[in-house]
Structure 1
């Protein structure tokens, strides 16, 4: 069933249709929230639950049902950003997937070390820079969507992203 059909049915009160949307996009929303928040204590799960509840309450307001995925991700990002603003110190951003790898062991080890270093660098970014960096570089969100999700202006988002990128590039220079 298409996203648009599921949105229409959900807006009419069909909880099963909404459940399909959440099962379809929930794991991705969780990964997105986890990257914003940092991995660790389950806050991403809580952010996604809050996002799902808010989405259910506002599903009848979706302007473009074909883009419900972006709408859900924006809500999840907002919930994650709310949590990020409320807490200190920050959780570890690193997430390593220990899937089998066909590359030579030395390449796998080097790649994992590089990912750990990138995670450490991103985790050390100020909250606002980390949030916009993750939303853009990991989530692929456009500037306007990041601005809307964070409540910042588009020029501010561009500036924060530029500073974050510069810092990441400078600190990852040894890995080139």
Structure 2
């Protein structure tokens, strides 16, 4: 018989949190879900919903309805493609990747819709399109900042969020002002290179 693909509960809403098990059952649950076990998928769904939702909010900065749509799409993909994962750390990393892809797909889909609306009604769609472009850039920057080390993120926050001087930022990080200056320049250079590369890859 063909394998049945499990689906998340409908309608999508925050599930009742499941009590954490004494032992890590991730491997058994993911293996069972990959075989089409809907009960196992339901357990994973309940345990990882909050994590997936928080990831969607962090990546997109969008409202609850948008992020719930992202989570639903991510969970559907998880149900169809989940591999056997050895522990919660592996599950967290894998699910973060799935949510990230679902979030980008949702943002791109919305952008395409707004482009179509702009072509049909150029005057009324302009503001919405501009807002979506900004959302895309913010989501991209959040993702790239998340890839930096803790110290690199702290240096950027000290300089550009808290307004610290190079000397003050260096004192907080245990570095000299010159070292902070060089490090911040290298971080910004890497971000610009990544932005240029991603822009070329996303060109139609």
TM-score bracket for this pair, using the shorter chain length:
0.5 to 0.7
Which of 92, 96, 120 is 1:73 aligned to? Answer: 96
- Superposed, 1:1-176 pairs within 5 Å as 2-59=25-82, 62=83, 64-66=85-87, 67-86=90-109, 87=111, 88=129, 89-90=131-132, 126-133=138-145, 136=146, 143=147, 168-174=157-163
Residue correspondences, number: 120
Partner residue in 2 for 1:114: none
Whose RCO is larger (CA < 8 A, sep 6+)?
Answer: 1
Counterpart CA distance in 1 for 2:154 and 2:136 is 13
Structure 2 length as normaliser, TM-score? Answer: 0.48
Query: What is the CA-CA distance between 1:129 and the residue it aligns to?
Result: 1.7
Higher Cα Rg, which structure: 2
Q: Which runs of 4+ in 1 moved over 6 A?
A: none
Q: Could you give the per-residue CA deviations for residues 131-165 of structure 1, whole angstroms, max 9, x where no partner exists?
A: 222xx2xxxxxx5xxxxxxxxxxxxxx6xxx7x87
Any unmatched runs of 5+ in structure 2? 1-20, 112-128, 169-204
Counterpart CA distance in 1 for 2:27 and 2:140 is 33
Any unmatched runs of 5+ in structure 1? 93-122, 137-142, 144-157
Structure 1 length as normaliser, TM-score? Answer: 0.55
Quote the RMSD (CA, aligned, Å).
Answer: 3.5
